[in-house]
Amino acid sequence: MMAKGFDNYILVDVRSPIEVKLSTLPSAINITDYKTISSTLKPRIFYCTIGMRASRFVQNQSLPGENLVLKGGILSWLHAGGKLHNSDGTEVSIVHVGSEAWKVTPKGIEAVWEK
């Protein structure tokens, strides 16, 4: 199921495979899969944990068409009431954040990171 309101976009998660395996936005594709698909006219929304890696990715690529960055990343998505899925498409309530400093998830969402 596509994330509500994003039917006309391709959602691209630029986070690491470890982060993506744990949870991602519904119907998003990872950056590796994105790089293997052919060019499309459909606009793309890139995201990461807070938006920094996604912004850098868009700035450093020569991407055709409309390319947006999800402001505030997956953490803003969660604070706006967005849902997460794991790699199997099952809804989950856990997200990988870079460090304890980014443990700012809403109530009911577990934040994990490597120590």
- Please give the C-alpha separations between residue 17 and each of 4, 62, 65, 78, in angstroms, as whole numbers: 24, 23, 26, 20
Q: Classify residue 114 by its DSSP letter.
A: -
Name the residue with tokens 């519904």. Answer: 26
pLDDT at 63: 74
Say if residue 1's pLDDT is above 60.
Answer: no
pLDDT at 87: 84
pLDDT at 6: 72
Q: What is the pLDDT of residues 7-42, one digit of tens each?
A: 788 999 999 999 999 999 999 999 988 888 766 668
CA-CA distance, 37 to 85, in Å (whole number)?
A: 22
Say if residue 93's pLDDT is above 90.
Answer: yes
CA-CA distance, 98 to 33, in Å (whole number)?
A: 22
In CATH, 10-112 is 3.40.50.300: no
Mean pLDDT of the chain: 89
Contact between residue 93 and residue 68 where contact means Cβ atoms under 8 Å apart: no
Q: Which of 2-6, 48-52, 83-87 has the lowest mean pLDDT?
A: 2-6
pLDDT at 67: 87
Report helix, strand or coil for 98. coil
Which residues have a Cβ under 8 Å from the Cβ of 98 and sit 6 or more positions away? Answer: 49, 113
Domain ranges across the chain: 10-112
